Structure 1
Amino acid sequence: MRKYEALYVLAPNLSEEEVKANVEKFKNVVINGGGEVENIDEWGKRKLAYEIKHMNEGYYVLMNFSGNAELPKELDRVLRISDGVIRHIVVKLEK
């Protein structure tokens, strides 16, 4: 099992329930894909470095997880098609 890190930025206009639902949804993608979520760190609303889709703020979430080589591809696909996500990145951590 390899270790990965996913950082995604949710739209600032989402309600607290919608944010929690999205975080839980992405956590379940990892768990259902045979992976293990090690940590979820919600940074909260922060100012973006530059405007994205006419938004100046975003809700940042950092998720550390481990899984097989196919898991980050599936998570990337789900993040890409989710409406509330304005930016995301999934990277493999070095040993």
Structure 2
Amino acid sequence: MADRRQYEVMFIIDSRLDDAAIQQAVDRYVGIVTSRGGEATKVDHWGRRKFAYEIDHLNEGYYVVADLQAEPSAIAELDRVLHLADELVRHKVVRPGKH
């Protein structure tokens, strides 16, 4: 736990999912970090927003931004899971001040 760093994660979930499924996905992603000793300091639900252009035949997505404190290994596992998640349209993990 000595090497915890600050991260910001944005993910866009397929807006065709209902609100319960979206919340379940968010809880699952945040749970990956917390189960490995990390902490979600803030989770902002931006809601459904239109895309500037079509992505994977979709015109809108459900945006979530989470501020996390975790070890790099926990974020690496989160990034791996996010790459494999079928319900995600896009995601991005950054370290504030480092992007």
Aligned to 1:4: 7
Q: What SS does the aligned partner of 2:15 have?
A: coil
Structure 1 alignment gaps of length 5 or more: none
**Is 1:75 equivalent to 2:78 in the alignment?**
yes
Runs of 4+ in 1 over 2 A off after TM superposition: none
Shift of 1:17: 0.9
Does 2:63 correspond to 1:50? no
Q: Take 1:91 and 1:39, find their aligned partners in 2: how far apart are those partners? A: 15
How far the C-alpha of 1:94 sits from its partner, in A, is 2.6
2:34 aligned with 1:64: no
User: Which amino acid letter does the alignment assign opposite residue 85 of structure 2?
Assistant: S
State the TM-score, normalizing by the size of structure 2.
0.91
Q: TM (normalized to structure 1)?
A: 0.95
1:14 alignment partner in structure 2: 17
Number of residue pairs matched by the alignment? 95
Root-mean-square deviation (CA, aligned residues, Å) is: 1.1
Note the residue ranges of structure 2 that are not aligned, 5 or more in a row: none
Matched letter for residue 61 of structure 1: V
Instruction: State the shift of 1:51 in Å.
Output: 0.8
Deviation of residue 23 (structure 1)?
A: 0.7
AA partner of residue 56 (structure 1): N
Query: How many Å separate the matches in 2 of 1:45 and 1:23?
Result: 14
